Amino acid sequence: MVCRLGGHCTADEITAALQAERPGVARSTVYRALDVLSASGALRAVRLGDGPIHYEVAQADHPHAICQVCQGVLHIEHELIADLERHLEGLHRFRPLRTEVVVVGICDDCARGGGRRATRRRRMLEHVHYG
């Protein structure tokens, strides 16, 4: 269901989608399943700025950049995080075990006034490199 919803979905969004297909699915059942799937490593529970926890299919760790206007989500390149981890190890003798980064800002569309206000579903921002 998480894949079908496009990832980065909340427990309430998952519950609503499941109940639309199978009326009678209890919200508590969904929450218990999400806990088990997260503990098993199949799903990752991520905090994307303010608000509820979001769930995505577990894959390689990838930090997020979140637009505070439209709530769009951008995955940050792994190499940037690897550079940060190397910096911490080399200059500070600090060995990262897990790196969790959330960058909150304003996407280009919103900065130019063309962004959409937050909707119920977070959208993936287009991954564009400028310059």
> What is the per-residue pLDDT across 15-25, written as a single tens digit (0 to 9) for each?
999 999 989 99
Nearest to 5, CA basis, from 25, 20, 23: 20
CATH tag for 1-59 (out of 2.40.160.40, 3.10.20.30, 1.10.10.10, 1.10.540.10) = 1.10.10.10
pLDDT of residue 120: 47
pLDDT of residue 114: 67
pLDDT of residue 60: 60
pLDDT of residue 32: 93
Does this model's pTM top 0.85?
no
Domain ranges, ordered by start, for the chain: 1-59, 61-131
Q: Are 104 and 59 in contact, with CB atoms under 8 Å apart?
A: no
Going through 1-131 in order, the beta strands assigned E by DSSP cover 9-10, 43-47, 53-57, 64-67, 73-75, 102-105
Q: What residues in the chain have per-residue pLDDT under 70?
A: 6, 49-50, 60-61, 114-131
| Strands across the sheet containing 64-67 | 73-75, 64-67, 102-105
pLDDT of residue 95: 95
Angle in degrees, CA 13, 15, 19, rounded to 5: 120
Nearest to 66, CA basis, from 75, 78, 79: 75
Phi-psi label, residue 105: left if phi above 0, alpha if psi -120 to 50, beta otherwise: beta
Give the fold, CATH level 3, of 61-131.
Dna Ligase; domain 1 (3.30.1490)
The two tokens of residue 100 are 């969790």
